[in-house]
Amino acid sequence: MYPKNKDNTYFSSVSVHDILVISRIPISLWITLVFIGAIIMQHISKPLLIQSLLFTALITIHNVMYWFSNQFPNNGLYFLVQGCLIFTCSLLLPNGSPVILLGLLPILISQSITKFQHKLKVFLVFIIFYLLYCYVIGIIYGLGELPKFIIILFIILTIVIFYSVIYNRQVNARIRMEHYLQELEAAHKKVEELTLSNERQRMARDLHDTLAQGLAGLIMQLEAVDSHLDKGNTIRSREIIQKSMVRARETLSDARKVIDNLRIISSEEKDFYHQVFDKIKRFSEATLIKVEYNIDPLSHKLSAITIEHSLFIISECLTNVARHSKANKVNIEIHEKKNQLRIEIMDDGIGFNSHSIDNHFGKYGLLGLKERARILGGKIDIESNPHKGTKICVSVPI
């Protein structure tokens, strides 16, 4: 929010500072052109070596003050010194004075609009410099030439002020836009951190529930086995042990899945390609299903949250292939297209009817995939037909 001054104009001290800094280079180039033009005009009429050297020193000081104008605490003193330098330079080189006065005064007056942000102060600066301008022109060229120079001054001043106002508005708009973009970026990072934190907490709860329930069940079954063994009932004990073994494997599989989701490998330690390859390798070793993959190099560096959710989606899809598809081969394609990360996973399994998608993936498995894609601002499409395999396409912005 920009503060409001007495003139009902909105401005920010930061904006004024930035406008002065941004305008330094074009103003310095313009002063250099004015310097060259004044020297040429004076030397054509009457070369003045000493005055030219003094003029060079004063115009250098004038330029340096423009360059550091944003650091002057006293604006009134700044314009007083700059005005004195301009009029002194015009008196040193009389024949070059039109170039000096008409080239530098409008710039200084337009700068007062930026620095003062006050109509009355800007008007006073204009009146003082206008009177001094008339006085110097009257001394050098006489009162008869004064009306012509006044008209020229007003034409140039109108153009410069109009350009200055438009320029200041554009710079203010750009500064505000940069400020809003910085705030938006900070908010986006905060949302990413909160999302990642919530996701970790959810996974931690899943891990706790999986291990706690699984181990509690195993303990109860082992206690039952112990009770049956005391009674000599070995047949019933063997049945319970076999069920316990199945339950233990399921618990271990679920725990590993949750642990994989919790494990975030820094992109500095391991890039996205190798993380995907590790998942493919573990899948192939565990299921003996042939995996063909094509992972194109990415031109954009993926964020940690994109890597985490993308790896979960790939892992969940491969898990469903192993559990339900009865596939012999899986094809994985990962590439970048129009600033989108596209992940395609296809199998040659038994497929399923699109109306029974919840049964195939499981209600929470499908919700998990959709939620991950939504968090990344992407979308997921699932295509399948009985005995024709399944194709899953995920697109997320990068």
Q: Is 40 helix (H, G, I), strand (E, B) or coil?
A: helix
Q: Judge if 24 and 92 occupy the same domain.
A: yes
Q: Judge if 208 and 315 occupy the same domain.
A: no
Alpha carbons 380 and 369: distance in angstroms, whole number: 8
Q: Judge if 52 and 129 occupy the same domain.
A: yes
Residue 38 contacts residue 96 (beta carbons within 8 Å): yes
DSSP secondary structure string for all residues of 243-278: HHHHHHHHHHHHHHHHHHHH----TTTS-HHHHHHH
Q: Judge if 303 and 368 occupy the same domain.
A: yes
Whether residue 288 lies inside any domain: the answer is yes
| CA-to-CA separations, 88 to 96, 118, 131, 132, 156, in angstroms, rounded | 12, 27, 15, 11, 21
Q: Judge if 229 and 331 occupy the same domain.
A: no
CB pairs under 8 A, 24+ apart, for 277-286?
279/311, 279/314, 279/315, 279/318, 280/318, 280/332, 283/318, 283/322, 283/330, 286/322
Q: What is the pLDDT along the chain (398 residues), one digit of tens a residue?
A: 334 444 444 344 446 666 667 777 888 888 899 899 889 988 888 888 888 899 999 999 988 888 887 777 778 888 888 888 988 888 888 888 888 888 888 888 888 877 777 788 888 888 888 888 888 888 887 787 778 888 888 887 788 777 777 777 777 777 777 778 788 777 877 777 777 777 676 666 666 556 666 676 677 778 878 887 888 888 888 888 888 787 777 777 777 766 666 555 444 445 788 888 888 888 888 777 889 999 888 877 888 888 888 888 898 888 888 888 888 899 999 999 888 999 999 999 888 776 666 555 554 566 678 888 888 889 988 888 888 888 999 999 88
Q: Judge if 26 and 139 occupy the same domain.
A: yes
User: Which of 40, 63, 62, 64 lies closest to 52 in space, CA to CA?
Assistant: 40
Whether residue 257 lies inside any domain: the answer is yes
Question: In a 10 Å sphere around its CB, with 0-12 CB exposed, 13-18 middle and 19+ buried, how is residue 314 labelled?
Answer: buried
| CA-to-CA separations, 124 to 20, 99, 113, 114, 168, in angstroms, rounded | 21, 23, 11, 14, 21
Whether residue 184 lies inside any domain: the answer is no
Q: Judge if 379 and 317 occupy the same domain.
A: yes
Location of structure tokens 């996701």:
199
Whether residue 11 lies inside any domain: the answer is no
Whether residue 350 lies inside any domain: the answer is yes
What domain range is 393 assigned to? 272-397
Kindly calculate the radius of gyration of the chain based on its CA atoms and give it in whole angstroms: 39
- Which of 245, 265, 285 corresponds to the end of one domain? 265
- Which of 143, 158, 193 corresponds to the end of one domain? 143
Q: Judge if 344 and 392 occupy the same domain.
A: yes
Alpha carbons 50 and 181: distance in angstroms, whole number: 54
- Which of 250, 265, 280 corresponds to the end of one domain? 265
Q: Judge if 249 and 326 occupy the same domain.
A: no
**Number of alpha carbons in the 13 Å side-chain half-sphere of residue 115:** 26
pTM beyond 0.85: no
User: Which residues fall within 8 angstroms of residue 375, CB to CB, at 6 or more apart?
Assistant: 195, 199, 305, 309
Alpha helix stretches (DSSP H) within 321-362: 357-361
Q: Judge if 276 and 351 occupy the same domain.
A: yes
Whether residue 8 lies inside any domain: the answer is no
Q: Judge if 134 and 41 occupy the same domain.
A: yes
Q: Is 366 helix (H, G, I), strand (E, B) or coil?
A: helix
Whether residue 97 lies inside any domain: the answer is yes
Q: Judge if 326 and 248 occupy the same domain.
A: no
Whether residue 370 lies inside any domain: the answer is yes
User: Which of 39, 22, 19, 30 lies closest to 62 in space, CA to CA?
Assistant: 30
Name the domain count of the chain.
3
